[in-house]
A and B are shown apart, each in its own frame.
Chain A
């Protein structure tokens, strides 16, 4: 092939050239691989957000209607993650003080302690508004307030429950969102509300229970919520 340059010198030269080509190829590969992987979305810890209405005015705990079937929902901890905000009372219209309770996750047998109610009467609570069975949301997943609506399941009347019309899962918000009837094997995640006694304003600051349905973790997989507040939207009465 070439008489003047012997094979070993040629191979050495080839190696040198291949070396710099390798730098180019390797770096390109590294860049391409990195562009293929989008940075994970989400946040590192649960934020503390003020609950506001759609005009940005803080929600007053005492203004929340008792036993209302209308769905008040807000996103937390990320966008597109709805949660119900309810003020729970008994059939006679008296607020029920909701205590933190130990909740069982039937799927795993694990237990956790839910967050109790807040407000003047301790009756305002918040739960994830995404059904833990297969992810149905309002209006399929809805609240049946005592004295206003009830649901008859296998001959028994339930009231003060979250019930999902998709497949019939029922949750008890008085007892930490625990499972009342299947097919779900996970309770509704419970949100920690903080009530500022002096201003009557509400903050949301944490979440316990199973992971939000459809997520690998509560804090990833969606855009973060911008600012220090999350707005509460009234989605209306599903029974009308």
Chain B
């Protein structure tokens, strides 16, 4: 056998494939529409997986430098003395934020789509547990830095745990150790990694179930009836290379944003401390005294609930946590057994859909409220004025829309709802921020007029949006024919640009210019993602 024969490309390929099985992994094939431009909703779980892998890799590197007996010193050492250390730490933090947001997006998407119904009940329940584990891992990880916010988070956590009767002190000891700082931070580190490990294990089963139960098909195919299964058919394109390349594209975009966002924030001076990609001042410093006691932003909703004067007495923390955390979690765990009808359409389940919308609204309202008025006690009338109008508006309007839809007077598509929802949430956040700045001056002025104006305005905007938003067909056929020419040029430009950015970025100082390197790296990832997207469009017409 001569060398030429040995180096035969096809032979190497088939040798490798026979041993690595790369081209026929045990993964379900998916229909084309899921990989189309509007099909991103089918891949929210994949996005979480990609971010989780990023967290594992960066977390393991950070683990090599962590020291529970000097947490703040270890954090500062990573930030200042390790090459690209500030990039590593800030993107690990923002990766966690991205993961938390994506887990919520994934959950609510599947909630509104009715994906928790037969045969996916257990898959859904594991998903809800995974949400709790993700928040837990986030809480412990956030507390590892040893800055003032980490001690605040510890105080809030301890307060909530110790307010539980009988087992409160036991829980505090289990969660936070015997009281010495070293024991505290050893526990934080341990729990952070244990939670991440549990996420990994449960994710494995969640993913196995997702593969076995197949992807929830589009409503058009399932006709909005459970059990909704994507039948495996030979017409579907194979997983490799179609889905593989698509995963590469999603991975490039996801990692790009996870790296880019904190890198940009890291170069802006005076980012609000709750959103800063870097740790705050040490707990025992003068600067710390001017920072209100904040938990991590993703737990602000529970923190604000503690301020409600309706919850009184030594168990006020417990009461607040029960109403605003435990009951919602139990509700989401139980929803497959509460809503057992076979219909998957959101408008066919007005109350369930309303609860979903309200969960999101309350999550956002309470979080922003907590961020702007930390520790300010909220009286019962004010609480009701803020929390009741959205409930009334949402439930009544959903019931009306549902009735109209059932009578055939309202025709909406899944996509219309999601787009309206985007508008609704964006409007909600911006209005709350605008109002909250106003509130923080006159704290008690959180009145009926505010709530009503806000929710009438936004509610009408969002539901007016339903049905009026035109669905643009993704990539019409005639466009594909004109694509290749520009496509080639763009891919070539991206190639050159990526290498120019990369070669310039590696010359930057790995210490004080690390965030600039992050901007470069994030941009290269996004550019490469665009390149892969163009390639898929030209070659696969997807």
Contacts and interface: CB of A to CB of B under 8 A. Distances in A.
A79 B107 CA distance: 53
Interface size class of A (residues with CB under 8 A): 20 to 34
A23 B85 contact: no
Given A13-B491, A13-B538, A27 B57 contact: no
Contacts of B252: 21, 24
Interface string A9-52: 01001101101110110111011101111110000000000000
Nearest to B480: A4
A5 interface: yes
A2 interface: yes
B527 interface: yes
A16 to B, nearest CB: 5
Given A14-B535, A17-B531, A17-B535, A24 B495 contact: no
A12 B252 CA distance: 21
A189 B339 CA distance: 79
Contact of B81 (A14, A19, A27, A38): A38
Contacts of B491: 13, 16-17, 20
A23 B324 CA distance: 46
- The secondary-structure label for the interface of chain B is helix
Interface string B488-509: 1001101101110110011000
B61 interface: yes
A24 to B, nearest CB: 5
Interface in B376-423: none
A187 to B, nearest CB: 35
B495 to A, nearest CB: 5
Contacts of B510: 34
Contacts of B87: 31
Contact of B524 (A20, A37, A39): A20
A20 B498 CA distance: 6
B72 interface: no
B438 interface: no
Interface in B60-89: 61, 64-65, 81-85, 87-88
A32 B57 contact: yes
B528 A23 contact: yes
Nearest to B523: A24
Nearest to A41: B81
B64 A36 contact: yes
Given A20-B527, A21-B532, A39 B81 contact: yes
A31 to B, nearest CB: 5
B109 to A, nearest CB: 28
B484 A5 contact: yes
A34 B81 CA distance: 12
A35 B61 CA distance: 7
A21 B528 contact: yes
B248 A21 contact: yes
Given A13-B535, A13-B539, A14-B535, A27 B524 contact: yes
A26 B524 CA distance: 11
Given A27-B506, A27-B521, 12 more contacts: A5-B539, A13-B491, A16-B491, A17-B531, A19-B499, A20-B497, A20-B499, A23-B495, A24-B502, A27-B502, A31-B88, A35-B61
17 contacts: A13-B491, A13-B535, A13-B539, A16-B492, A16-B495, A17-B532, A23-B524, A24-B524, A24-B525, A26-B502, A27-B506, A27-B521, A27-B524, A34-B510, A36-B61, A36-B64, A37-B83
